[in-house]
Structure 1
Amino acid sequence: MAKVVSTAAVSARNSVSFWTETVSDTFVDLECRSGGGRESIEGELAVQTLASLDLARVRASAQSVHRTPAGIAASSDNYYLVGVQTKGSCLVTQDGRSAAIGNGAFALYDTTRPYSLLLTDNFEQLVIRLPRTVLERHLPEAARLTALGVSPDPGAASLLVNTVKFLASEIDVLAPDVALSVSQGVEHLIVAGLGGLAGGIPDADRFSRRKLVQNHILENLRYESLSIRSMADQLHLSPSSIHRAFAADGETVMGWVWQQRLDRIREELLSGKHQGTLTELSVAWGFSDSAHFSRAFRQRFGHAPSELLRR
């Protein structure tokens, strides 16, 4: 049974705050602003769950929707949203790109990074919310495909639109095992539609992303808890995009982390400033296993760390 919420239940004066709260509860923490010269928002939102997917039908007056850094910091939501336009139009902006989607088209946006939607008056949009891991399992480069419109030409896009329209009205009659199969079919249609865009998108921001990750690593180099997941959470990047930033140069992220730690330890030993044990020094730079540290040091520099300590 769909859960339906409408601004008809509140006064025009309270409609924007009510709508913002409703949309945030349904998707992720968002900021909504009325548009089209209005001071209020009129809207209706119906949401249903289909196995791993949440499907919402949004009908409303003109507005802009913003996923802000503050909203991201205030929550741990880790989803992709797919907006399927069925009436009116929407301008999706994320990662420095913008895509205008009209009736029958769709676009992807990532809730772990800021984005905005500009929606025309009396629009209807069907929004699919799915966990990042679900989409990236089939499409590892999904984070690079945000704010790119998939046209309504015959193909995956039109199949997805027709399927989602059907689900919006018939989802209640699906048996659980059928619902799971249908949800997987929807995932594959999304992947098929976005997959056609992947080949033509250069990873132009790889170098800036690598520099961002490197700076974060150097600032947190001493912490044993430093990991791909902690970097992704704090930098609002996907783990796959962090891996890609280093893989193109034949490196791994954690390999670079260990190299930097070993270099700092060697510098400290050569300076003669360290007065404690090697174990104390290695622990201070994020190594939890002294044997692992000694092996890694010898492999990188060709001699044991104890030789520098004796000097």
Structure 2
Amino acid sequence: MDSGGISRTFFSTHDFDDWRDSIGVIFDVDRPEGAPEEFSAEVEAFQLGDMILANSRLGAQRYVRSPSQVRRDGLDHFLLNLYRTGGGRARTDEGDFQGGAGQISVLDLSRELVSDEPQSDLLALFLPRALMEEQLPDLGALHGQAPQGPYAVLLAEYLDLLGRRLPTLLEGDGGALARATLDILTACIKPSLAHVEAARPGLELVLLRRARRFIDAHLGSEKLTADTICNALGVSRRTLYRLFDKEGGVQHYIQGRRLESIRSRLADPKETRRISEIAADFGFLRSDHFARAFRHQFGQSPRDSRAPDRQKQVPAPVRISHAPDTGSPGFDDWIRTLHA
């Protein structure tokens, strides 16, 4: 963490399109039905080490983290919202959540979200997952929910006070304040996570199914790694490894699924490419390594698995491309810096 002073940036507009461009690095936003014609957004943001804290006064809007945006931007942060006035109704893959004034909500930005929010005065705290992973590895279990109990009230009071006092602490030690904030977050949120532990077996079954679907959908991608799976699911490496412990590990599972896909291709009489080309599509670039792995899993060589009457039809290979991100200065640029 940076041990220097506390940096500040300010954004203000009455133009909804300007706001959409600024917040677009995090959310797609729209005007909800029945919203007043007048709109304003005012954000005063402070950088505390690796965290960003923003005092915001915002007009009515709908926030969306769509599946396509989650895949596209790879944003791997948590967002804690404390509503001083207003609130929001969020719809996540875990269900619906209604938040109100004085309440903190936890959002995992690596997962899907739709939230309808009236005009609000709120404090928003952005936290990189890597910052919280060691202290609160299961924070993602609170996605779209609110920490409960007296410690959650204490945390809300602390964040509210911090947001109100930061404008007078610009010459203070940002690193020390960030460490203190992280300690308070850990102490206050852990009691709520303890209640989630009782639901862990069911949650992990759901996560395992999602992980398997994600792996099957990206078997041909060279970017299929533990990190990309963690980002897609919104879980830590430790959680991912625990999910696949009975499978011999996540990498072992991925290799097994790739080998099964190759064998299926080899059994297709319409597949006429060389075995080495098919294997390369699934990341096996060394033929000796591939042959050993294939024989170990299936008890026969890849050549013995080929369809005897395959036709000479060569399908065009599929290639996946990703458009580069674009940046813009200001508050959104800070978020991109944390992402990097």
TM over 0.5: yes
1:83 counterpart residue number = 81
For residues 118-129 of structure 1, what are the structure 2 equivalents within 5 Å? 118-121=116-119, 123-129=120-126
- TM-score, structure 1 normalization: 0.75
Pairs aligned (count)? 297
SS at match of 2:190: helix
Bigger relative contact order, structure 1 or 2 (CA pairs below 8 A, ≥6 apart): 2
Match status 1:256 vs 2:253 = yes
- The one-letter code sitting in structure 2 at the alignment partner of 1:237 is L
Structure 1 residues 211-235: Cα deviation after superposition (integer angstroms, max 9, x where no partner): 55444544543444433344556xx
Query: For the Cα contact (< 8 Å) 1:53–1:129, is it kept in 2?
Result: yes
Question: How big is each residue's C-alpha offset from its partner over 1:22-71, in whole Å with a ceiling of 9 and x where there is no partner?
Answer: 4446xx13304257641222342211010111001112344433333454
Contact 2:230-2:240 at 8 Å conserved across structures: no
Residue 10 of structure 2 aligns with which residue?
4
Letter in 2 for 1:162: E
Separation in 2, partners of 1:18, 1:270? 55
* Residues 289, 67 of structure 1: alpha-carbon distance in 2 compared, 3 angstrom cutoff: same
Does the 8 Å contact 1:86/1:124 carry over to 2?
A: yes
1:135 touches 1:191 (CA, 8 Å); kept in 2?
A: no
Show the counterpart of 2:158: 163
Q: What RMSD over aligned residues (CA atoms) do the two structures have, in Å?
A: 3.8
Q: 2:97 aligns with which of 74, 86, 99?
A: 99
Conservation of the 8 A alpha-carbon contact between 2:147 and 2:189: no
Q: Give, in whole Å, the separation in 2 of the partners of 1:134 and 1:105.
A: 23
Matching residue within 114, 127, 137 for 1:130: 127
Q: In 2, are the aligned partners of 1:84 and 1:161 still within 8 Å (CA)?
A: yes
Structure 1's unaligned 5+ residue stretches are none
**Sequence identity percentage:** 21
Letter in 2 for 1:128: L
Q: Describe the SS at the equivalent of 2:170.
A: helix
138 and 24 in structure 1: CA distance in 2 versus 1, 3 angstrom threshold:
same
**Partner amino acid, structure 1, of 2:287:** S
Gap change, CA 1:149 and 1:231, over 3 Å in 2: closer
Picking from 176, 179, 184, the partner of 1:178 is 176
Q: Go from structure 1 to structure 2 and tell me whether the alpha carbon gap of 1:284 and 1:148 turns closer, same or farther (over 3 Å shift).
A: closer
2:21 alignment counterpart: 21
Kept in 2, the 8 Å contact 1:55–1:126? The answer is yes
Within a 5 Å distance, the mapping from 1:155-304 to structure 2 comes to 155=151, 157-168=152-163, 169-170=165-166, 171-189=169-187, 191-192=189-190, 194-202=192-200, 204=202, 210-231=208-229, 236-238=232-234, 240=236, 243=240, 246-247=243-244, 250-266=247-263, 282-302=279-299
Specify the code of the residue in structure 1 equivalent to 2:131: V
Contact 1:20 1:30 in 2 (8 A): yes
How far off is 1:146 after superposition? 0.7
3-state SS of the aligned residue for 1:6?
Answer: strand
DSSP 3-state at the match of 1:172: coil
Q: Deviations over 1:195-254 (max 9, x none)?
A: 234224456565565455444544543444433344556xx4235498379537545332
Is 1:141–2:147 an aligned residue pair?
no
CA pair 18-249 structure 1, distance change in 2 beyond 3 A:
same
Q: Deviations over 1:131-183 (max 9, x none)?
A: 122223333333332111223x422x123222222322134242144234224
Contact in 1 for aligned 2:111/2:234 (Cα 8 Å): no
SS in 2 for 1:138: coil
